[in-house]
Structure 1
Amino acid sequence: MQLIHAAFWLPFLAARAAPADNHAQLIKRDLAYSPPVYPSPWMNPEADGWAEAYVKAREFVSQMTLLEKVNLTTGTGWASEQCVGQVGAIPRLGLRSLCMHDAPLGIRGTDYNSAFPSGQTAAATWDRQLMYRRGYAIGKEAKGKGINVILGPVAGPLGRMPAAGRNWEGFSPDPVLTGVGMAETVKGHQDAGVIACAKHFIGNEQEHFRQVGEARGYGFNISETLSSNIDDKTMHELYLWPFADAVRAGVGSFMCSYQQVNNSYGCQNSKLMNGLLKDELGFQGFVLSDWQAQHTGAAAAAAGLDMSMPGDTEFNTGVSFWGTNLTVAVLNGTVPAYRIDDMAMRIMAAFFKVEKSIELDPINFSFWSLDTYGPIHWAAGEGYQQINYHVDVRADHANLIREIAAKGTVLLKNTGSLPLNKPKFVAVIGEDAGPNPNGPNSCADRGCNNGTLAMGWGSGTANFPYLITPDAALQAQAIKDGSRYESILTNYASSQTRALVSQDNVTAIVFVNADSGEGYINFEGNMGDRNNLTLWRGGDNLVKNVSRWCSNTIVVIHSTGPVLISEWYDSPNITAILWAGLPGQESGNSITDVLYGKVNPSGKSPFTWGATREGYGADVLYTPNNGEGAPQQDFSEGVFIDYRYFDKANTSVIYEFGHGLSYTTFEYSNIQVTKKNAGPYKPTTGQTAPAPTFGNFSTDLSDYLFPDEEFPYVYQYIYPYLNTTDPRNASGDPHFGQTAEEFMPPHAIDDSPQPLLPSSGKNSPGGNQALYDILYEVTADITNTGEIVGDEVVQLYVSLGGPDDPKVVLRDFGKLRIEPGQTAKFRGLLTRRDLSNWDVVSQDWVISEHTKTVFVGKSSRDLGLSAVLE
């Protein structure tokens, strides 16, 4: 597509810095603008990793009728079948309805499945193998339930604001750590035989104002969703980075997000889907909408949307932007034939990338009920039959969950009280140590915070098959050791707590938490996003009180991100602090393993622990700032989020990004840099092939009428058929009668060869292949100077050297298991992308002339080794 200059991608104007008057919408010309990019790129049959799938997809799609293609791309409607989303089946060709289902940390709304640690907790392991194994195990469970597309992993939100509600579903505010998490999870899911879905693309960084109806339900009078205003450089160097890693890993699908980006809805934003994702990154799979994130029909198709989820414009209306309307749009030429073919091709290529044949096992559960029998078409109440087969898909995944949660626990502080060794008297304090009195699954989608916190709330949750509480596991260990053990499982029994922990020989372990989740759940005034960064249920007062009464107080935090601990972390009576994240079903066992030294802690914090909320810079927009129009959230900090912002502001922190202690010690030495013989960077040139099509189809509208009376019609179900041969009445589209050239943006229906972007790869998903050339290898010697075996996460940072660059940026890491007294060699790699900046003028990656320095160390602020690159 044609080159887009920086001026077309300006995020906002300086004149817009002041908040808008509450009664006046900001002037449209002053709002951020997203440029049009058309036509929608078509699939490349020679793309790396996709050739075999493309051959199978072409063979299948070439047999499909127009009605079947529309059926494949349109959801059947909310609660119309068993999964959270399904498309129409192709029974003539033997393909059952494809199942799209939530599963970022386990399968949502089913039984006999596992509840895994969150993505954020997995990131805290800094262990590629564990991330892959987690992705594979979740994928196997999904496969066992009949799911075809897992709605995950998550890189949006990336984590711009620490209070954002769904940060825990993703990995880290650092794009490299998140990119590794995305790539390993994608590979794990798809090796298990299900399509991974990278979400939410892109700039989806908070819950407030993501949907108009949701916001109005909370009393906010807005007419359009939030606009995330992101400049071109920031988009490439920060938010797009981990999604590029997902594309390079071969991800089969993407989910576009609810909110707008530069005042264009994510699911009809041609710059995002056509320009960045399909053109620049060379994504070969399909893009599906978030549920009700589609706001238009033909225009969304032209902008790059390939699948409508859940199909209806609003839940349970039976009305669709696609379905019948898409059939008519193709017949009258508004949506070109190549586009519907490409949509079907992308879906089936992703399918064949993970499946050998179209003969699929049946879907054996219903998201809408755990009852064994019920209506298969839940919304319509029709088709009473067995809907749940209660298939147990857990296998031995409990062991993996326990391992990930333990190795993802970060030891923030330890003055010598840990590991525990048969302590004489253990007192466990706090609601977070105990069970929810109504059961771990008593709150829908975990929309409460009663008892120990093991996952956040919202669509990214799973039902617990069981939940091992810290109280249960620690009591079992104490009994085994012959220790005295008592627990007080409330935060508010001050006199009883003081009487207990003031006794002699007490090791007091205090459990506290902070929760958050998706915006459709409002828990205690937190509308998805956290209202503050303090501990919940008086947790800070609990910690301060116990540590005042007990000189050996250990604090364990379960949270969805950083919390403010400035008031108590440095108390000499607090001998240890651990962040245990969101550990999943084996919570108690995992923290017991770490506290007692069965697992030597090796987790590193995937975010910064700031001293104040203001220290993070960016924050959630809690009130509309554009009258009744779309709230405007300017990402004016650019690439400076989390540790990058703290470094730029030269602000002290409590615990830095990448920090984490061990029960042993490590010494770093002997950094060496080896330059590799990579070739020069060559911008991509040339053109694509013309758009592929599969022949003509009938334009006789009578061929598309709803089948005869014997065909089973289901209430609210979305079909591709027409009810009349009158095209205007069949469509119900006010624009009907306009030509495609009049209705659609310029070039939207162009099927001629298109120029390749310099930053794209001819056949390489992820961008220009030369971006991934290895330019340097960096090695260092790591010695275990302690007395026990331990795992050390070695972190490689780079200073890009420019005046507008962060002080350092993470670029690689490795986890080494080292015996006491032994030395291991760390090897880190630097690619061309790692050393490049995005140039908004040439619209390509460039390595600046500024001096580049490489650092190896234990965290973002503990970088003992350095070397200047040639």
Structure 2
Amino acid sequence: MASATISLSPFVIFLLLLVGIVSWHSCEAREPFACDPKDARTTGLPFCRDSLAVADRVKDLIGRLTLQEKIRLLVNNAAAVPRLGIKGYEWWSEALHGVSNVGPGTKFGGAFPGATSFPQVITTAASFNASLWEAIGRVVSDEARAMYNGGAAGLTYWSPNVNIFRDPRWGRGQETPGEDPVVAGRYAASYVRGLQGNAGHRLKVAACCKHFTAYDLDNWNGVDRFHFNAKVSKQDIEDTFDVPFKMCVKEGKVASVMCSYNQVNGVPTCADPNLLRKTIRGVWHLDGYIVSDCDSVGVYYDTQHYTSTPEEAAADAIKAGLDLDCGPFLALHTEAALKRGLLKEIDVNGALANTLNVQMRLGMFDGEPSKQPFGNLGPKDVCTPAHQELALEAARQGIVLLKNRGPSLPLSPRRHRTIAVIGPNSNVTDTMIGNYAGVACGYITPMQGIGRYARTIHQQGCTNVACTDDKLFSAAVGAARNADATVLVVGLDQSIEAEFRDRTGLLLPGRQQDLVSKVAAASRGPTILVLMSGGPIDVSFAQNDPRIGGILWAGYPGQAGGAAIADVLFGTFNPEGKLPMTWYPQDYLSNLPMTSMDMRSSRSRGYPGRTYRFYKGPVVYPFGHGLSYTKFVHTVASAPTMVAIPLAGRHAHGNTTISGKAIRVTHAKCGRISLGVDLDVKNVGSKDGSHTLLVFSKPPAGHWAPHKQLVAFEKVHVPVKAQRRVRIDIHVCKFLSVVDRSGIRRIPMGEHSLHIGDTKHSISLQAATLGVIKS
């Protein structure tokens, strides 16, 4: 019964497409950014010859620029160079979960009134579906290229956000793929591949993984991100915070990394050569540019007082490896830094080489955009029915069924003909798309979605999520008494959690809990609670209330969120989402400052630890929790019980080091060590469905090892009574290794236990040499 597209009729969609096509063909194609074949000044110059290697073209262009021209290219609103036929360019565009107008590089209007708005990242992450993440990236980059061709957007997108959702109060946790480093890293690589395309060195658009590193506090208890010094151990940097960025660069081949506002161990990230030049570019081999978070260089001079003069701040940034400043600081102070001898022109050239490299790979120096790859994309390729269908599918896959007592779900259109739809988020539009969103193609609210299945009685219950009074409660209670079932849609929005707005607690805001309990007590039929939020909510009261039959978490489900919620409520879609973050009880926050960065627990300090990997206390719902309308069982069909770890070079002859019986990853022949596990998944329930296999490893006991860690995940669709075999390949060095207190990644020898739901399998890792020296 649910429509495959947003709430626009096919005829209206046809008209919109027709208008877009007519407007596209009635206007001039975008003029070339540079190297216009009609410009005699640049015809034949080497930097305009796309037959030459990019490095040679970049070198030629840099050699033709004056110092002042170079400096004006170091900032996001890069100036034009008219004498060389180069136009000005705005680097700052955003595409977190759809083309956004948050950055000045993108404008909606005219032939581009909106773009497909996918679910917020935390919701999409709950699908645990890497192919979906890449598919979304492909659609977003199609729409981004189309808007660029139409003069409405840039080609450099400062997305995705792959920071770890370390603390449940973080207002920007909604932008991230959750708390697990491997999930965040795989999301990063998948989404970036979708955005950037697979045309080799050429880029469809240029993505950016942000905010490097240990950035996960905005404004808490008087501490803001501009003043915060994150004190992080080498162990936690290597084991947690840097993992998604490393995977983004090395596996996703991202074109950019953004450094963050905060300091890490006393050094601003955008001025730290160990982080930028040594790690991102040196160890991980970034092929692209490093950009500051907006005004970060100014922040560490003006706010953090890291340097005595602005010239020193500019010099520190460029020498550390920063290539582009989001903000005016480098344009204002770099020339003075050169005159003072704090910087050399070759340093500026190095920064420009990295940004120009990306622009060349984007085709910005290849002449007319219409004659390049992706030059045919236009308004007809934005908000297409197929794109909107993918937004709906992504929302469906990201919804998590937390509770189903009885079972109370799915609802039946035959038995539940009248639905009371209640709550401050029951008929919202913008709330569903979260932050860093653009203008959606259209919306289906929860009330509209449910209205496709049954007659609705709508009462808001609270005027907004703050829910400061009970003036609307009686009408909501009356609606529940007169309906066959009640759906309460409550939770949070950007007034509670957002950029620069961290939460103060984990409970539902205001009197929402009171509303839910009163309505549930009065409801004539089953009561279902639907939660919209980015961060976790302590809903223990609802979990324990027998009158509340079901609980769904929808995150911020995007433009088609209401349709997806209704499809799950009525069983058109079998829920398959899993929580990408732990849901803690409110008292977890007792004596737990957001400023404490340690991941591991400490009994002596009464410190509980963070995320499922290091916290062992009570939870409302654990990481990976998510129910289905059917039942799956899985068994290990085949897996090794012992794996030999071959040692590299001189280490193979006994001259290696083991700490606590753990081999350094750098001492192993990692390319040869892969662990294959075959799992049989059977659907023994009564409904077709998809099952997410979460494979955890519990390493041998050790004071620096996690309790367990996710090492692989795969999604498989299994029809009723059918069985599917799934092959899981686990890279031993990447995923069975742990990090010691010195920040060294090691592979523990001995028994590792793989956990897939209730299924366990033990594997012994042994060094493939007898002459190992312990240390």
Give the TM-score range, shorter chain: 0.7 to 0.9
CA distance in 2, matches of 1:668, 1:535: 36
* Selected match of 2:723 from 823, 835, 846: 823
Which residue does 1:113 correspond to in 2?
115
Which residue does 1:497 correspond to in 2?
476
Which residue does 2:761 correspond to in 1?
866
Query: What letter corresponds to residue 107 of structure 1 in structure 2?
Result: V
Cα-Cα RMSD? 3.3
RCO greater where, 1 or 2, for CA within 8 Å and sep 6 or more?
1
Aligned length: 641
- Within 5 Å, give how 1:371-770 maps onto structure 2: 393-395=382-384, 396-415=386-405, 416-422=407-413, 423-435=416-428, 440=430, 453-457=431-435, 460-478=436-454, 484-491=455-462, 492=470, 493-503=472-482, 506-516=484-494, 528-550=501-523, 552-614=526-588, 618-620=592-594, 633-638=595-600, 645=611, 648-674=614-640, 680-681=647-648
The structural deviation recorded for 1:456 is 3.0
The structural deviation recorded for 1:57 is 3.0
Cα deviation, 1:626-647, whole Å, max 9, x if unaligned, reads xxxxxxx341334999996557
Distance 1:618 1:342, change over 3 A: farther
Which residue does 1:263 correspond to in 2?
266
CA distance in 2, matches of 1:822, 1:767: 43
Which residue does 1:718 correspond to in 2?
none
The structural deviation recorded for 1:536 is 2.9
The structural deviation recorded for 1:869 is 3.0
Cα deviation, 1:203-243, whole Å, max 9, x if unaligned, reads 1111117xxxxx9xxxx699961111111110011000010
Query: What letter corresponds to residue 467 of structure 1 in structure 2?
Result: Y
* Selected match of 1:845 from 734, 745, 752: 745
TM (norm. structure 2) is: 0.76
The structural deviation recorded for 1:538 is 2.4
Cα deviation, 1:660-716, whole Å, max 9, x if unaligned, reads 1111110011353247788545699xxxxxxxxxxxxxxxxxxxxxxxxxxxxxxxx
CA distance in 1, matches of 2:162, 2:339: 37
Distance 1:204 1:817, change over 3 A: same
The structural deviation recorded for 1:132 is 0.4
Distance 1:673 1:820, change over 3 A: same
CA distance in 2, matches of 1:72, 1:835: 47
Query: What letter corresponds to residue 191 of structure 2 in structure 1?
Result: T
The structural deviation recorded for 1:806 is 1.5
Which residue does 1:170 correspond to in 2?
176
* Selected match of 2:92 from 73, 85, 100: 100
* Selected match of 2:314 from 276, 297, 301: 297
Q: Does 1:835 align with 2:762?
A: no
The structural deviation recorded for 1:76 is 8.0
The structural deviation recorded for 1:264 is 1.2
Cα deviation, 1:37-58, whole Å, max 9, x if unaligned, reads xxxxxxxxxxxxxxx9993133
- Structure 1 spans left out of the alignment, 5+ residues: 1-51, 78-84, 210-214, 314-321, 363-388, 441-452, 479-483, 522-526, 621-632, 685-757, 759-765, 858-862
Query: What letter corresponds to residue 739 of structure 2 in structure 1?
Result: W
Query: What letter corresponds to residue 866 of structure 1 in structure 2?
Result: H
Check conservation: 2:608, 2:615, Cα contact below 8 A.
no
CA distance in 2, matches of 1:819, 1:783: 9
Check conservation: 2:424, 2:461, Cα contact below 8 A.
yes
Query: What letter corresponds to residue 98 of structure 2 in structure 1?
Result: G
Look up the SS of the partner of 1:63 in the other structure.
helix
* Selected match of 1:185 from 181, 191, 207: 191
The structural deviation recorded for 1:650 is 3.2
Query: What letter corresponds to residue 240 of structure 2 in structure 1?
Result: L
Query: What letter corresponds to residue 797 of structure 1 in structure 2?
Result: F
TM (norm. structure 1) is: 0.68
Which residue does 2:53 correspond to in 1?
55
Look up the SS of the partner of 1:540 in the other structure.
helix
CA distance in 2, matches of 1:91, 1:647: 55
Distance 1:269 1:558, change over 3 A: same
My pick for the range that moved more, 783-792 or 770-779, is 770-779
Identical pairs, percent: 25
The structural deviation recorded for 1:134 is 1.1
The structural deviation recorded for 1:777 is 1.3
CA distance in 2, matches of 1:642, 1:221: 21
Cα deviation, 1:111-169, whole Å, max 9, x if unaligned, reads 3222221111110010011100111212222222221111110112x111101010111
My pick for the range that moved more, 57-66 or 144-153, is 57-66
CA distance in 2, matches of 1:90, 1:69: 12
CA distance in 1, matches of 2:319, 2:348: 10
The structural deviation recorded for 1:848 is 2.6
Q: Does 1:141 align with 2:140?
A: no
Q: Does 1:198 align with 2:209?
A: yes
CA distance in 1, matches of 2:692, 2:52: 40
Cα deviation, 1:792-848, whole Å, max 9, x if unaligned, reads 00011111222321111001100001111111112222221212233565x643213
CA distance in 1, matches of 2:176, 2:417: 40
My pick for the range that moved more, 275-284 or 558-567, is 275-284
Check conservation: 1:512, 1:536, Cα contact below 8 A.
no
The structural deviation recorded for 1:259 is 1.2
Query: What letter corresponds to residue 682 of structure 2 in structure 1?
Result: T
The structural deviation recorded for 1:340 is 2.5
Distance 1:770 1:95, change over 3 A: farther
Which residue does 2:355 correspond to in 1?
347
Q: Does 1:782 align with 2:684?
A: no
CA distance in 2, matches of 1:224, 1:170: 20
Distance 1:815 1:64, change over 3 A: same
Name whichever structure is richer in helix by fraction. Answer: 2
Cα deviation, 1:47-106, whole Å, max 9, x if unaligned, reads xxxxx99931332333324746764665687xxxxxxx4323445555433432122122
Check conservation: 1:168, 1:561, Cα contact below 8 A.
yes
Check conservation: 1:517, 1:529, Cα contact below 8 A.
no
Query: What letter corresponds to residue 550 of structure 2 in structure 1?
Result: A
CA distance in 2, matches of 1:509, 1:486: 10
Check conservation: 1:608, 1:642, Cα contact below 8 A.
no
Look up the SS of the partner of 2:350 in the other structure.
helix
My pick for the range that moved more, 427-436 or 772-781, is 772-781
Check conservation: 2:114, 2:438, Cα contact below 8 A.
no
The structural deviation recorded for 1:515 is 2.6
CA distance in 2, matches of 1:348, 1:118: 31
CA distance in 1, matches of 2:344, 2:561: 53
Check conservation: 1:186, 1:246, Cα contact below 8 A.
yes
CA distance in 1, matches of 2:612, 2:364: 49
My pick for the range that moved more, 636-645 or 168-177, is 636-645
Check conservation: 2:157, 2:206, Cα contact below 8 A.
yes
CA distance in 2, matches of 1:576, 1:280: 49
- Structure 2 spans left out of the alignment, 5+ residues: 1-49, 102-107, 149-153, 198-202, 299-312, 371-377, 463-469, 652-656, 658-664, 766-775
Query: What letter corresponds to residue 168 of structure 1 in structure 2?
Result: Q
